[in-house]
Structure 1
Amino acid sequence: MKEKYIKNIDFEKVLDFKNLIGYVDGGVESRTLVQREDFSMTLFAFEQGEGVSAYSMPGDTMIYVYEGKAEVVMDEDKKFILKEGKTIVVPPDVLHSIDVVEKSKIMIIIVKAQK
């Protein structure tokens, strides 16, 4: 059997993307679909008022809001509102945070150089 790179999801089955992860009262839920040294893809479900504290990555970070509304802040002064269906890419080594304006589901993809 060949190695599967995508995990925590059914194969050969049509799935409703929005239902791959559910909300948790007063918290954050996550589901990692791919975790490699050079690439990761994680789904998050955030309750309103939750978020991700400022961090930076040594690669490109794509933030895609597929339900709800969130604010992405880069370098503490650049603010972007992402509504459902919107995405933004954060360049390597740029400090950024995510603040959830309303209950949201977000996919974060990180791509780094292969070692």
Structure 2
Amino acid sequence: MEKNYIKNIDVAEVSTLVDLVSYQSNQIVSKTLAQNPAISLTLFAFDKGEEISSHESDGDAMIVALDGEALITIAGQKYSLKKGETIVMPSKKPHAVYATEPFKMFLVVVFPQQ
């Protein structure tokens, strides 16, 4: 049996990322597609007003906005991120995500290799 390193998504089929995670009232929903010491791939759906509070990561984190709009804070500076846009949050810098409206994102975190 072959092992797939990416999970929770059909392989060898065309998919639409924005449709793979659903909004839920007053919640943040996440779906992990891959997680290992080198990389993390996760889909998120935030209801309006939901947030991931300020924290730091050992890896560089890239957000690809799939739907809606959010306020991204990196080291105290605020950025508006809309559907179709991308931002990179560098490692070791505090960052946060706040959904100003329902917001879906694809998060890619690349960790340093030991």
For the superposition of Structure 1 and Structure 2, which TM-score range results when normalised by the shorter chain?
over 0.9
Stretch moving more, 39-48 or 12-21: 12-21
3-state secondary structure, aligned to 1:19: helix
User: Is the aligned partner of 1:6 residue 2:6?
Assistant: yes
Query: May I ask how many residue pairs the two structures share in their alignment?
Result: 114
Identical aligned pairs, as a percentage?
Answer: 37
Q: TM-score, structure 1 length as denominator?
A: 0.94
Which one-letter code corresponds to 1:103 in the other structure? P
Structure 1 CA distance for aligned equivalents of residues 110 and 47 of structure 2: 26
Ranges in structure 1 where 5+ consecutive residues have no aligned partner:
none
Structure 2 CA distance for aligned equivalents of residues 92 and 17 of structure 1: 25
Structure 1 CA distance for aligned equivalents of residues 70 and 111 of structure 2: 24
The Cα offsets for residues 5-24 of structure 1, whole Å up to 9 and x where unpaired, read as 10111112222221111111
Q: TM-score, structure 2 length as denominator?
A: 0.94
**By how many angstroms is 1:91 displaced?**
1.1
Q: Partner residue of 2:80?
A: 81
Ranges in structure 2 where 5+ consecutive residues have no aligned partner:
none
Q: Partner residue of 1:110?
A: 109
Runs of 4 or more, structure 1, over 2 Å off, are: none
Alignment RMSD (CA, Å): 1.0
**By how many angstroms is 1:114 displaced?**
2.0
The Cα offsets for residues 60-99 of structure 1, whole Å up to 9 and x where unpaired, read as 11011110000111112x1100010011101110000001
**By how many angstroms is 1:53 displaced?**
0.6
